[in-house]
Structure 1
């Protein structure tokens, strides 16, 4: 076959591919794939990125890990380290999002850049990413539900938190975002902007209250106090690394906006910009909040031993001396869990739909359906909701088993980030001329940014599965690694049983790429 250029989408937004590319795409048989309507601009997606991460609120929810392991030193310097590392990961993924802004994201890029075995690697990458985000959907409702129970414990000392109550709260918090995703899709843009305003405006209100009313720790305590006698770990390096979970959790999930790419106008530019600015805004706010919180937190041991299960609730009470005021200060954090759940559910349903569209699931054709009435992947949305409900039901029988599933979230997400970044670095070094760069790129900074991202991501991935405390019991065990291993085995089993016969990589043809780019350039 003569490999000559063909012009697709001729005119203002002409895109040229080769006949070999067109042949490869046609050979895979990808015709008339279901598509989503593009109606979101940069500002709603910036708000989407900021509120999905909700970093200063997430910091409050995950505070106990950092306090137990390293204390102030682990939290403050951990925020600086995780900001730098997460920024490099975000920049690396933003560049790939500009090259190919699709809902499937990581597994698309793995297929495109892998130096070998791209069919197999992209298939496993798809399962890792999807399973990680399925677990992530349950995190927000769980945190909000248990924080509500913590407030009940604080305000009503006779109240005893029950697992079934927490499960019912998870259901309630989950179904509201589901209904909004179905019936109020066109409200997504204004809802994102309003949520972003709440996220930003609540920040100074809480910050000023803490600074004015809270007692003061010394500069020395905040900036040099290293806590190594609380968790049972004895090696200071391990203690500090385990304490990074607080910062790493609050600055993860920065790929969520990518999975909305196929509903974004000018996605090759808007998606990377919203990712980078969303992380930068969140990290700056979270770092400032962490510093203020440590200066004004009051009694360290009282916060760690809080009967509510959340140190932040005890800290707010110590700062204000009022249970009502502490409950009011928790309201923005509870709201953040709700609107973050709305964003996560929207993002994960699109990711699930994309993997189904590409034939990654059993019954893929069924789940790849886009409702002509609601203009969303309705069946994928119901699938994600059903899986989250099933995960929440585990909490009825065993909170340890439920936490085992949740612990998969951050570990699997970081693994899904690392793989395509490693592959794009290899391609960048070996065959830079073969990469079809998008309008948003790192240029000469690409190699050092990719290298730092890989080193940081590897370091975080090693220590994320470590339990917070020693000795380890069935309740305190961090099940992230074994559950991640089970997820990997599931993906491998599906590959040998079904995937190797039907999976030919992402189903995006040369024509689809050309049309996508043309639509995204104003």
Structure 2
């Protein structure tokens, strides 16, 4: 069989006619040329994956969920459960990433693996960090000025301020992004022991029974301990979601089929370990529980830090050490989502796809896709002015959508393992005989997370504290189906797949 070879940006691109190879790839035409420049190496890729999750930093920001539902025991055992579950998901997705490390990732893998209806399934698979950082800044303002009123439009302005710099960096300083990732990775790891040391030295110590045996089940109104524990997991699930982030940068990673799978696994394992250490230290060193839960800042971690240090200046420093790596994670998130948007436009999956699929010849990035993503960030921030509940629904939806996007290709992969295992080629990373058990474990965890993510945090439910993630997801699915009927089925031919050689 003749293969057309083209060398560009240190990569080899093969164009293979459809129907060549095994049945798993029978309908995929390998015709997409390399359009982006590969500048991320192994270390910057691992740093990208590690910093993108920013798990210990965001676990501090989302501490309220666990304190409100389940308490210390839910947080400790929840982070262990979340790490194991997300590591199983990362390992399972890493197999697929080693076969096809591409910006489209999940929807392209689903297209390949689906036995039928692959165009519709892949079409239907198409976090907002500034909110967390911007409102934490507001929380510190409240700490400094107790009379300060938490006004939602001010939080929106802070979100804009937090988002602007990453947008500028992604446009004008793309080539230094790898160095920024390494620097952020160092901060991500170094700042943690410094933070823990401050708490351990200055704060009084809680007994072991408080950390490992205390289960709080009466604050939210939920009665069943299992439900309380599962809802409290939101605070430790969300910080570890996004294991796929580095996959969407695959077309800018050198030797992507080897580097990307390892980066996913290392990033998840490192973040889970760091988050566990951080949360254990916080629980041992936290002061008054009720005061932390009812923190006027909106973030228990700010009150806990102030209780431990007794100094507003020290609290600001501790919070800054958590927010700085978290802010740089937005650089990564913006780049990752931009590449995914570009890949979907490249495959004619978006309205005006021809416009958004263009790679800027000067900056060598999908600039129009970047502006589209940035516009969505600024547009969504206005929702927060009108209703925090509605905006939180969007935040919950992002996590819920991620796990659903993981479930679809994993379920299709397991079906393929049962129906045609010989059609699954082995990539540079393979789970071997552990592949099926690991895939089933990943599906089990992802399904569990998806079930409880839409649950409201409190009962009885009011319009203000309702979790609208479920209804919003239903609307999104309905919109996708209507879009498929009206437009997608006429224009969506499936992703333009690329095959990769080892030296990419």
Q: TM-score, normalised by structure 1?
A: 0.92
**Equivalent residue of 1:407, what SS?**
helix
Map of 2:19 onto structure 1: 20
Map of 1:421 onto structure 2: 410
Q: Separation in 2 of the partners of 1:357 and 1:19?
A: 19
Structure 1 position 13, deviation (Å):
8.3
Question: What pairs up with 1:232-381 in 2 under 5 angstroms?
Answer: 232-381=221-370
**Counterparts in 2 of 1:16 and 1:431: CA distance versus 1, 3 Å:** farther
Structure 1 position 324, deviation (Å):
1.4
Map of 2:447 onto structure 1: 458
Structure 1 position 404, deviation (Å):
2.0
Structure 1 position 399, deviation (Å):
2.1
Map of 1:447 onto structure 2: 436
Q: Separation in 2 of the partners of 1:256 and 1:240?
A: 27
Question: What pairs up with 1:113-512 in 2 under 5 angstroms?
Answer: 113-125=113-125, 127=126, 136=127, 139-508=128-497, 512=498
Q: Is 2:68–2:232's contact at 8 Å kept on the other side of the alignment?
A: yes
Map of 1:84 onto structure 2: 84
Q: Separation in 2 of the partners of 1:29 and 1:448?
A: 31
Q: Is 1:14–1:518's contact at 8 Å kept on the other side of the alignment?
A: no
Q: Separation in 1 of the partners of 2:402 and 2:98?
A: 20
Map of 1:517 onto structure 2: 501
Structure 1 position 457, deviation (Å):
0.6
Q: Is 1:70–1:240's contact at 8 Å kept on the other side of the alignment?
A: yes
Q: Is 1:9–1:518's contact at 8 Å kept on the other side of the alignment?
A: no
Q: Separation in 2 of the partners of 1:94 and 1:27?
A: 22
Q: Separation in 2 of the partners of 1:165 and 1:248?
A: 28
Cα deviation digits, residues 355-376 of structure 1 (max 9, x gap): 0000000110100000010000
Q: Separation in 2 of the partners of 1:475 and 1:144?
A: 22
**Counterparts in 2 of 1:451 and 1:31: CA distance versus 1, 3 Å:** closer
Q: Separation in 2 of the partners of 1:203 and 1:73?
A: 22
State the superposition RMSD in angstroms: 2.2
Q: Is 1:102–1:262's contact at 8 Å kept on the other side of the alignment?
A: yes
**Equivalent residue of 1:360, what SS?**
coil
Structure 1 position 15, deviation (Å):
7.6
Specify every segment of 5 or more residues in structure 1 that has no aligned partner in the other structure, as ranges: 128-135
Structure 1 position 337, deviation (Å):
2.7
**Equivalent residue of 2:358, what SS?**
coil
Structure 1 position 290, deviation (Å):
1.0
Structure 1 position 436, deviation (Å):
2.5
Map of 1:132 onto structure 2: none
Q: Is 1:36–1:262's contact at 8 Å kept on the other side of the alignment?
A: yes
Q: Separation in 1 of the partners of 2:415 and 2:198?
A: 50
Q: Separation in 1 of the partners of 2:388 and 2:448?
A: 28
**Counterparts in 2 of 1:159 and 1:503: CA distance versus 1, 3 Å:** same
Q: Does 1:95 align with 2:95?
A: yes
Q: Separation in 2 of the partners of 1:483 and 1:260?
A: 28
Q: Separation in 1 of the partners of 2:175 and 2:6?
A: 31
**Counterparts in 2 of 1:242 and 1:294: CA distance versus 1, 3 Å:** same
Q: Separation in 2 of the partners of 1:190 and 1:243?
A: 36
Q: Separation in 2 of the partners of 1:14 and 1:385?
A: 31
Cα deviation digits, residues 167-186 of structure 1 (max 9, x gap): 11111111110000000010
Map of 1:72 onto structure 2: 72
Q: Is 1:34–1:369's contact at 8 Å kept on the other side of the alignment?
A: no
**Equivalent residue of 1:21, what SS?**
coil
Q: Separation in 1 of the partners of 2:12 and 2:484?
A: 39
Cα deviation digits, residues 25-61 of structure 1 (max 9, x gap): 9998885656111111110010001111011001001
Specify every segment of 5 or more residues in structure 2 that has no aligned partner in the other structure, as ranges: none
Cα deviation digits, residues 451-498 of structure 1 (max 9, x gap): 000011101110011111111111111111111111111111110010
Q: TM-score, normalised by structure 2?
A: 0.95
**Equivalent residue of 2:220, what SS?**
coil
The farther-off stretch of 391-400 and 268-277 is: 391-400
